[in-house]
């Protein structure tokens, strides 16, 4: 009977430790996950930087009969390291036609999440 009590105690103790570990992991994950900025918030509060277009592709999606494009770009922030980002965005026809590999553009991005990026209305050519 004593052996059974020890085994049950070990199992329960392991379950408690596992539960505490999982709860701690969930709390840390919640704290480290910053709220993703919307495109409007990025336009208003994002960090502005120059970027060089690496590739331009149409996605096949349309918004108000305007094709959505996927841009891959090298972002050149004033502070910090350069990084490669990809954005899917609908741009006016006159801007879209000017984009090609090597184009220099102005973007804004969330400094906490470099994947959140928008092409600014100003393009540099």
Q: What's the pTM?
A: 0.65
> Domain coordinates of the chain in residue numbers?
1-33, 39-124
φ/ψ (deg, to 5) at 46: -75, 170
Closest by CA position to 55, among listed 76, 84, 16: 84
CA distance 121 to 95: 9
52 membership: H or E segment, kind and range: strand 47-63
Topology at the third CATH level for domain 39-124: OB fold (Dihydrolipoamide Acetyltransferase, E2P) (2.40.50)
Residue whose pair of structure tokens reads 């592709």 in the numeric block? 57
CB of 69 within 8 A of CB of 75?
Answer: no
Q: Read off the pLDDT of residues 46-82 as tens digits, 9 standing for 90 and up.
A: 999 999 999 999 899 988 888 899 999 999 999 989 9
Closest by CA position to 6, among listed 21, 19, 14, 17: 14
Q: Read off the pLDDT of residues 1-44 as tens digits, 9 standing for 90 and up.
A: 555 555 655 665 666 666 666 666 566 555 555 567 888 898 88
CA distance 87 to 99: 13
């Amino acid at each position: 009977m004593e052996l059974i009590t020890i085994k049950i105690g070990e199992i329960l103790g392991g379950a408690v430790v596992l539960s505490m570990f999982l709860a701690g992991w969930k709390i840390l994950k919640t704290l480290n996950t910053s709220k993703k900025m919307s495109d409007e918030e990025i336009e208003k509060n994002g960090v502005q930087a120059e970027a060089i277009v690496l590739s331009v592709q149409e996605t096949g999606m349309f918004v108000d009969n305007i094709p959505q494009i996927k841009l891959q770009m090298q972002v050149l922030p004033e502070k910090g390291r350069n990084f490669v980002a990809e954005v899917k965005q609908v741009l006016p026809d006159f801007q879209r036609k000017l984009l090609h590999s090597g184009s220099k553009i102005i973007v804004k991005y969330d400094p906490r999440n470099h994947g959140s990026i928008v092409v600014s209305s100003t393009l540099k050519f």
